[in-house]
Amino acid sequence: MTLQAVVNNVAPMPASKDVVVDIQKMSLTFQTADGPVYALSDVDLTINRGDFVSFIGPSGCGKTTLLRVIADLERATAGDILINGVSPRQAREDRAYGYVFQAPALLPWRSIERNVTLPLEIMEISKEERVKRAHDALKLVELNGFEKKFPWQLSGGMQQRASIARALSFDADLLLMDEPFGALDEIVRDHLNEQLLKLWARTNKTVAFVTHSIPEAVFLSSKIVVMSPRPGRIIDVIETDFAKDRTLDIRETPEFLEVAHRVREGLRAGHSYDD
């Protein structure tokens, strides 16, 4: 645990200091007109402080739902979840989450700066402090100079970076990213992946990252959670130990390919269940 992480931790910490997310035997069932849908079943998962965890799996495997349960946007129907040792709801009210969605979800009527200060406004932080933090966050995603622009004046990649800055601005414990680069083209995506990695190395944030790209998952993560649909469940958890300052070049190394292979095997095993 680095000094930075300790300093950032404002909320009082419970007994096990290193565990941010602790999920045990958690299930989520949706009641629909066609009968119940088992979105998540028997999920066990721990995320430690400073981890970069990727959730990967085919669509319908519940990876987004899992992220939403962690963020208290959905309620689990069974099992236990603790975030920082408290319930997801308590954690949400303590402002523990920086959520980045598939789309930038910037408010079109606010300038980039005012979009980034939005959470700070809600958390009733003083004006000068807001501007200062927005400035810092925008610098982290290399968007300084665009403070006064409106969202529509930025490209898709820049908009998504702005939304990441927004998630960073209030120093949330846990950065939750739901396919943040899914809608972008591959070149922009590679670039943003590298930037995100640098950001993670610098801030030592805990990140939960949903994707359906194997190279992206392997490249970014310290821990890869492979999931499978119907019912949504975890079938494999792979720990990697690439250097924190890795670059895109490692995608050619045998170690990288080996991990990617294992992920692919896991996904295939999950699929065979299906048909």
Partner 1 sequence: MTTDAATLPAARTGPGLWTRMMKGQTGPVCVMLIGLFVIWYIGAIFMNMPGQLDRYARAKQDWTVSQLVEATLNQDRPVLPAPHQVAAEMYKTIFATKITSKRSLVYHTWVTLSSTLLGFGIGTLLGILLAVGIVHVLTLEKSLMPWVISSQTIPILAIAPMIIVVLGAIGLKGLVPKAMISTYLCFFPVTIGMVKGLRSPDHIQLDLMRTYNASRWQTFFALRWPSSMPFLFASLKVAIAISLVGAIVGELPTGAQAGLGARLLAGSYYGQTVQIWAALLTAAFVAAMMVVVVGLFEKRVLERMGVRA
Partner 2 sequence: MSGKLDKFCLVGAVFALLSLVFPLSGVDPETGKNVAFVSDLPGLASAMVACVVIGVFFTWSGVTSVLRGSIILLVVIYGAWQAIATLYDHGLAGYASYGFWMFIASLWALVWRGIDVIANYRTLDQGKQQTANIIVPLAFGIWLLFLWEVITAGFGVPQVLLPAPSMIGVRFVNSTGILWDDFRQTFLKAVLAGYVLGCGSGLLVAIAVDRVPFLKRGLLPLGNMVSALPIIGVAPIMVMWFGFDWQSKAAVIVIMTFFPMLVNTVSGLNAAGRLERDLMATYASGYWSTLFRLRLPAALPFIFNALKINSTLALIGAIVAEFFGTPIVGMGFRISTEVGRMNVDMVWAEIALAALAGTAFYGAVALAERKVTSWHPSFRVRRH
90: Cβ contacts below 8 Å, ≥ 6 apart: 83
Can residue 149 be called a binding residue for partner 2 (CB under 8 A)? Answer: no
Site for partner 2 (CB under 8 A): which residue of 121, 185, 186, 258?
121
Taking the complex as a whole, the smallest distance from the CB of residue 274 to partner 1 amounts, in Å, to: 10
Question: Taking CB under 8 A as the rule, which mask of x and - marks residues 38-77 in contact with partner 2?
Answer: ------------------------------x--xxx----
Residue 20: closest CA among 46, 42, 2, 45: 46
Chain centroid to Cα 119, Å, comes to: 17
Q: Which stretch binds partner 2 (CB under 8 A): 2-10, 11-19, 118-126, 245-253?
A: 118-126
| CB nearer to partner 2: pick between 105 and 188 | 105
Q: How many Cβ atoms sit within 10 Å of the Cβ of residue 137?
A: 24
- Strands in 146-194 per DSSP E: 174-178
Taking the complex as a whole, the smallest distance from the CB of residue 32 to partner 1 amounts, in Å, to: 8
- Strand-pairing partners, residue 228, are 233
| CB nearer to partner 2: pick between 120 and 226 | 120
Inter-residue contact 234 to 44 (CB < 8 Å) = yes
What angle, 0 to 180 degrees and rounded to 10, lies between the N-to-C axes of helices 186-203 and 127-140? 120
Can residue 230 be called a binding residue for partner 1 (CB under 8 A)? Answer: yes
Can residue 212 be called a binding residue for partner 1 (CB under 8 A)? Answer: no
Angle at the Cα of 206 from the Cα atoms of 204 and 210, rounded to 5 degrees: 130
- What residue ranges bind partner 1 (CB under 8 A)? 31, 33-38, 230-231
- What residue ranges bind partner 2 (CB under 8 A)? 68, 71-73, 92-93, 95, 97-99, 101-103, 105, 107-109, 118-119, 121-123, 150-152, 176
